Structure 1
């Protein structure tokens, strides 16, 4: 049961959906502490954040990260922990430490459940067990298996089991064709790759708030524009009973508790083929209202489905695309028409400024850690390298 007066700790506040949820929680009068690994994280500077704190990088310093979160919980009397990205794995690994002698709502599942849906191999198996549509898949654990799998189809698409954000993908078809050579892929038993037939269709995504297996708030959206053909820049809500049924089926099967998101490939026949699960919020939250989010989190009742036609955008990314690709300018303008900004909202414009300032800080941080950002790494990759989870054991 939600506390009568929730005091919320939000992690990885740099993410656009984190900025959005922080703003909305503040709009409904909630006490929010926003955290991230660097000071310029946009969500830390939202008017929705009552306070902000800096934490160690979970991917590089997992124990220090969890210890700092525990300290913040005690110092700020936090009773609701709301992860925004793959830091959730590090928090779940030390769930007992965070819950010990505390009256706190940890709004995320246990580590085993998170790993089940995060690993694309086990997630694909789960979808098959639940009779959910998924493209025919071959799993490769070494280079020989990869070569054999790639020869199975004329047009193929390959992904790392723990890749995210459109990273670690290879294909011989579509806008990403040839970006990664199969010769550069090194599948292993610990880090396999999935190879599937390349399907043509429309990318769709969904986001849900789930309490103990029941979806209470759901949205499905498309992204007419994508950053470097990967993460979306514009989010437009659509009607999709198929995505709702899928979310509810998986949520009930796993008794999910937390935020839950899926990616689909909708083919011409309307079938929503399962692509992957993101066990945390995604941009679908941006098309929900503050009241819808607040109610779903703290006073859930009947199911609410976000109606079609709402639109949000990451304005700086749209402008960047138009400047880098002048031929896109008219299409970018048309796609963005009527969309409200995620980083700039009414009386809350500092996140937009810090969305630009944060890039410089993240690049500097990568250099400090000795990571070469010239090895074909994308803007998407620079955003969350220190909060990713690659499936490795967490100390």
Structure 2
């Protein structure tokens, strides 16, 4: 067992590849916290942040759950971890084995809710039902569990939008309106009872997202943001904080209803009348953490006091993704420059530039993804899917 040289929290941050993981690891390091970063491959960008005192490589939770949990248990003990901080959907595998993680570790803080609570908000169908029960605005929707039901559902509206109940990251969506219209053919989608699709009326508006740190049902740190620039009309790559009392009220309502403990994020569609329609919940951090300061984040985790709301006007960018978009679409140069003006980097922070280098080196993970799924090199591929194929949860039973 490695003895820590610090008397404060000792954090294990899992799935360190994600941009928000890079950011949170950096922030915790700035705050002087002992951080161990973990991921399924050694080139994970967050594992090479100056914020991480060490990093470990663990088996893939999606494909090798038992080996993953065993590696986490070993890491908890080896480095005397006192805080387990999941960054992506590995949280479901950790939560499913919560008792095993907590056994004989009275000082370990598991900063995530029980599995049943996580699953309720992760499933878009049950999340929408919960929001309606709480009186929150949600677009009218129909759940499809067969090809016939899907055909009937999309015929219900002239403009519609459909999403897999367990899809994430802007993937597994189909619509006949907006910038993504026609990207996927309807006959490519085959819902089942185990893999249902939620079909909703297409609403026009502005995408907004929020992120919160919550302790036992009380939000202690909150940000709401928009993304002036998105990659392939899906995930945001520039993030700017905005004022949104509506998002704070929603986060607090759901956090109290579920007695949430951990990080939680929501997506909204803000229509012209100002209504924030609920879209989905991510039971983990998202880019909203990037617009908080290191002190705000560390205080919210380890010494929470009064509620802190991130003010409007802070801006962050994944600069490599902005550059990639310009190289892929030269006509995007001017709008991309405007959208990212004034933003500081997520992967290239002050005195912490290795994550940017490893964001390029970690492309080997994309090759692993192609090999794992047997995808032809010339086939068009979602970059985001390569990011989470080994740390995602599709609603199937976890053993």
Using the size of structure 1 for normalisation, the TM-score is 0.98
- Aligned position for 1:95: 98
Query: Aligned partners of 1:364, 1:222: CA distance in 2, in Å?
Result: 31
Match of 2:339 among 335, 338, 349: 335
Specify the SS of the correspondent of 1:277.
Answer: strand
**2:218 is aligned with 1:214:** yes
Q: Deviations over 1:40-63 (max 9, x none)?
A: 100000000000000001111111
Deviations 1:160-206 (A, max 9, x none): 00000000000001111111111111101111001001100000000
SS at match of 1:251: helix
Deviation (angstroms), 1:137: 0.4
Q: 1:351 aligns with which of 349, 355, 364?
A: 355
Aligned residue in 2 for 1:121: 125
Deviations 1:281-311 (A, max 9, x none): 0000000000000000000000000000000
| Aligned match of 1:12 | 15
Pick from 237, 240, 252 the counterpart of residue 236 of structure 1.
Answer: 240
Q: What is the root-mean-square deviation in Å for CA atoms of aligned residues?
A: 1.1
SS in 2 for 1:186: coil
1:380 to 363, 381, 384: 384
Task: Give deviations 1:351-381, integer Å, cap 9, x for gaps.
Answer: 000011111x112322442441655431111
- Partners of 2:222 and 2:373 lie apart in 1 by 41
Report SS of the residue matched to 1:369: helix
Residues 1:299 and 2:282 aligned together: no
Select 2:49's aligned residue among 46, 49, 64. Answer: 46
CA deviation profile, 1:26-74 (whole Å, cap 9, x unmatched) = 0010000000000110000000000000000111111111110000000
Distance, in Å, in 2 between the alignment partners of 1:137 and 1:384 is: 27
Query: Any stretches of 5+ residues in structure 1 without a counterpart?
Result: none
Give the alignment of 1:91-170 within 5 angstroms. 91-102=94-105, 103-170=107-174
Q: Within the alignment, does 1:24 sit opposite 2:27 as a pair?
A: yes
Point out 4+ residue stretches in structure 1 off by more than 6 angstroms: none
Gaps of 5+ in 2: 1-5
Deviation sequence 1:307-354 (CA, Å, 0-9, x none): 000000000000011111111100000111000000001100000000
Which deviations, in whole Å up to 9, do the C-alpha atoms of 1:70-110 show, x marking residues without a partner?
A: 00000000010000000000000000000000020000001
Pick from 245, 249, 252: which aligns with 2:253? 249
State the secondary structure of the residue aligned to 2:63: coil
How high is the TM-score relative to the length of structure 2? 0.97
For the residues of structure 2 that align with 1:157 and 1:144, how far apart are their CA atoms? 17
Q: Which residue of 1 aligns with 2:3?
A: none
User: Hey, what does 1:80 align to over in structure 2?
Assistant: 83
Q: Deviations over 1:109-133 (max 9, x none)?
A: 0100000000000000000000000
Aligned counterparts of 1:283 and 1:238: Cα–Cα separation in 2: 13
1:34 maps onto 2:37 in alignment: yes
Distance 1:194 1:269 in 2: 24
What is the alpha-carbon distance in structure 1 between the residues aligned to residue 340 and residue 379 of structure 2? 32
Q: Distance in 2 between matches of 1:220 and 1:369?
A: 36
The number of residue pairs the alignment matches comes to 392
3-state SS of 2:285 partner: coil
